[in-house]
A and B are shown apart, each in its own frame.
Chain A
Amino acid sequence: MPKTLYDKIWESHLVEEQKDGTSLLYIDRHLVHEVTSPQAFEGLRINKRKVRAPKSTLAVVDHNVPTSDRSKGIKDKESAIQVEALSKNCKDFGIEFFGLTDKRQGIVHVIGPEQGFTQPGMTIVCGDSHTSTHGAFGALAFGIGTSEVEHVLATQTLIQSRAKNFKICVDGKLPEGVTAKDVILSIIGKIGTAGGTGYVIEYCGEVFRNFSMEERMTVCNMSIEGGARAGLVAPDQKTFDYIKGRPMAPQNKDWDKALAYWKTLFTEENAKFDREVYLNGNDIVPTVTWGTSPQDISPVTGKVPDPKTEKNEDRKKSMLRSLEYMGLEPNTPIQEISIDKVFIGSCTNGRIEDLRAVAKVVKGKKVNKQVSAMVVPGSGLVKIQAEKEGIDKILKEAGFDWREPGCSMCLGMNPDQLKPKERCASTSNRNFEGRQGRGGRTHLVSPVMAAAAAIEGKFVDIRKFS
């Protein structure tokens, strides 16, 4: 029977499969960060267990770290303890660790690909739901809880059951100003936040083939927002070119062997998917979320929806709740919503291409007086690259705050937070209640839309912005 890409990766990692489908899956790579790992290491210590494959494990601090000057360490005591705990755990168990002052430090899902740690055909896990990002390389990558982190540390395997295959195909050409972020928001708008539950999505079609690796990562990153276990894009020449020469990529003879293998990683013709969804790229538009779930999307030219017209009672209730939290009136044009903050960064949109796109929009312009705007590079290396290209200068001249790398205001575990009722145009992935700070109001948008909003002080149609 013809196989999907997911089937191939799954089957090549099966250590054991029981009759009821419960399987033991071998894990090639494990990424670790400070928030979801301390209890796992504690568990290992209590039970006198070792890390089975320290060399397959890479750790970094990202969620808690301050994005301002770091020379004096971390002020917040609890955050400092967590960061210190990871450093000690890595030392004790022999795991490579990128600490606060390492220039390779950054968001876990940015540094994996950047180092060449992420490669096609692998199984990759991390105690973080956005591990789906790495699927952009044709790797089966998914988030796990802390007990599973401990399980992988101890055994280099996971107990899993097979997911179903979901194909999302977007053909056509994206109009000018429409980005990978708009594509994935449109997909989530269509399938809903639970639409992918129980599935692994493979993104197929012209649009994804034409995407850069950064754009593919933006899409795969938010697979979890559609409920999917993981997202995949089949590897191609762009994937191989991206990986080649990175510090942890295969070298010399190994490279040729790896490449030959990677080229076998695609979905065979007539392979069966359990579900298929088709979108036309030509129809996708710049998108803004209005509610507190990533599925609450509107075209930038649209209006805040009116719950009165919603027939499903549960849905109506949740719309009313969202609008109240967001402080929005039904039928308000999206372009009349003014904002207080702009956050550019996160594992969705904190890569070099994103920063280049932002710089292009804001060059020679000024951030609106009522807006405070920050840019947080996804990693130390992204920051260095941006500075080499003069992107930091353009942004600073426009009035953006240029910060140190980390998760920052994506979840506000560090001091970067929204105040109650503050409204933010954010390039991150979650607009949940309280996500960016208690009472904070998040609108998810693409980097170019966030940049234009920073200049105008409200949402504008990037296609008409010059």
Chain B
Amino acid sequence: MKKFERFKALAAHVSIMNVDTDMIIPKQFLKTIKRTGLGAGLFYELRFDEKGNEIKDFILNQAPFNKAKILISGKNFGCGSSREHAPWALLDFGIKCVIAPSFADIFYNNCFKNGILPIVLDEKLVKELSELADKKKEIEIDLEDQKIHKGDNRPIDFDIDPFKKECLMKGYDDIALTLNKNQKISTFEDKKKTLTPWLYT
């Protein structure tokens, strides 16, 4: 996984509550056996009409927002299906950070596995950032200091689990991390085999 580095970029504001993963990437794009190329299907039904023509009104179809690297949205972002195609599609489109008042669990986890930073902020702060985004003002995401800089002297602080932060910053492959603990897993497994033997027959 690529290391997450500090970056400054434009944010696109999709003002919808409960954005579900069916909306982020509809079913027809789930037939792929690859992780790449899904950007074309991102928010497909909001971006394209039934004939496949671009819907001009939708923010991600408008310059300069079609190049946005940050997405700002309503609460409970990423609810519904566990499909990791949702963060894959965001990433392929160029989105590296999503800001919302709250996220659904599975989506939130899936972001970290793909180098995307999901930031939970108080609704008022999300609103403030979305107004800046609407004015096409860039904001800067600094994961190391856990701050969002918006060009004034009042950066916004955000919280993040220290382990998740470290994985993003260092671009860890967490399977490799866990495989280093192989001995521990085996010891645990042996203990389980005596306690719950029926699981191993």
Do A143 and B106 touch across chains, with their CB atoms under 8 A apart? yes
Contact residues of B with A, CB < 8 Å? 15-18, 20, 22-23, 26-28, 30-35, 45, 50, 74-76, 79-84, 87, 102-106, 109-110, 113-114, 161-163, 174-175, 178-179, 181-182, 184-185, 188-189, 192, 196-201
Indicate which residue in B30, B79, B113, B178 contacts A155 across the interface (CB closer than 8 Å).
Answer: B178
Distance, CA A88 to CA B102, complexed state (A): 39
Distance, CA A420 to CA B50, complexed state (A): 9
Produce 1/0 per residue, A306-336, CB < 8 A to B. 0000000011011001000000000000000
Indicate which residue in A26, A79, A121, A147 contacts B113 across the interface (CB closer than 8 Å).
Answer: A147
Do B102 and A433 touch across chains, with their CB atoms under 8 A apart? no
A280 interface hit (Cβ, 8 Å):
no
Indicate which residue in A15, A36, A198, A318 contacts B83 across the interface (CB closer than 8 Å).
Answer: A36
Task: Name 5 extra pairs, CB < 8 A, besides A63-B30, A81-B31, A194-B76.
Answer: A16-B184, A52-B185, A159-B174, A197-B76, A317-B17
Chain B residues with CB under 8 Å of A315's CB are 17
Do A229 and B50 touch across chains, with their CB atoms under 8 A apart? no
Distance, CA A314 to CA B17, complexed state (A): 8
Do A193 and B79 touch across chains, with their CB atoms under 8 A apart? yes
Do A413 and B18 touch across chains, with their CB atoms under 8 A apart? no
Produce 1/0 per residue, A388-415, CB < 8 A to B. 0000000000000000000000011100
With a 10 A CB-CB cut-off, give which of A146, A161, A257 has the most chain B CB atoms. Answer: A146
Taking the nearest CB of chain A, how far is it from the CB of B101, in angstroms?
10
Indicate which residue in A151, A193, A293, A413 contacts B174 across the interface (CB closer than 8 Å).
Answer: A151
Taking the nearest CB of chain A, how far is it from the CB of B121, in angstroms?
15
Do A193 and B196 touch across chains, with their CB atoms under 8 A apart? no
Distance, CA A380 to CA B47, complexed state (A): 39
B34: nearest residue on chain A (CB-CB)? A39
Taking the nearest CB of chain A, how far is it from the CB of B58, in angstroms?
13
Indicate which residue in A26, A38, A420, A438 contacts B185 across the interface (CB closer than 8 Å).
Answer: A26
Chain B residues with CB under 8 Å of A204's CB are none
Do A122 and B31 touch across chains, with their CB atoms under 8 A apart? no
What are 16 contact pairs spanning A and B, CB under 8 A?
A: A22-B163, A24-B185, A39-B33, A63-B30, A82-B33, A143-B106, A145-B106, A148-B110, A157-B178, A194-B18, A194-B79, A197-B76, A430-B80, A432-B80, A434-B23, A434-B26
With a 10 A CB-CB cut-off, give which of B26, B75, B192 has the most chain A CB atoms. Answer: B26
A435 interface hit (Cβ, 8 Å):
yes
Distance, CA A60 to CA B192, complexed state (A): 27
A227 interface hit (Cβ, 8 Å):
yes
- Counted as pairs of residues, one from A and one from B, with CB atoms less than 8 Å apart, the total is 179
Indicate which residue in B18, B33, B84, B185 contacts A157 across the interface (CB closer than 8 Å).
Answer: B185
A78: nearest residue on chain B (CB-CB)? B31
**How many of chain A's residues touch chain B, expressed as a range?**
35 or more
Known: A85-B33, A433-B45. A261 touches B185 (CB 8 A): no
Taking the nearest CB of chain B, how far is it from the CB of A194, in angstroms?
4
Known: A127-B82, A227-B76, A432-B23. A438 touches B196 (CB 8 A): no
Do B79 and A227 touch across chains, with their CB atoms under 8 A apart? yes
Do B22 and A128 touch across chains, with their CB atoms under 8 A apart? no
Chain B residues with CB under 8 Å of A155's CB are 175, 178-179, 182, 185
Do B104 and A227 touch across chains, with their CB atoms under 8 A apart? yes
Chain B residues with CB under 8 Å of A354's CB are none
Indicate which residue in A43, A321, A412 contacts B16 across the interface (CB closer than 8 Å).
Answer: A321
Indicate which residue in A36, A39, A197, A435 contacts B102 across the interface (CB closer than 8 Å).
Answer: A197
Chain B residues with CB under 8 Å of A150's CB are 175
Known: A26-B185, A148-B113. A314 touches B198 (CB 8 A): no
Indicate which residue in B175, B199, B200 contacts A154 across the interface (CB closer than 8 Å).
Answer: B175
A337 interface hit (Cβ, 8 Å):
no
| Beta-carbon contacts under 8 Å, A346-382 to B | none
Produce 1/0 per residue, A223-241, CB < 8 A to B. 0100101000000000000
With a 10 A CB-CB cut-off, give which of A39, A261, A315 has the most chain B CB atoms. Answer: A39
Do A434 and B45 touch across chains, with their CB atoms under 8 A apart? yes
Do A198 and B18 touch across chains, with their CB atoms under 8 A apart? no
Taking the nearest CB of chain B, how far is it from the CB of A84, in angstroms?
10
Produce 1/0 per residue, A23-66, CB < 8 A to B. 01010100000011011001100010100100110000001100
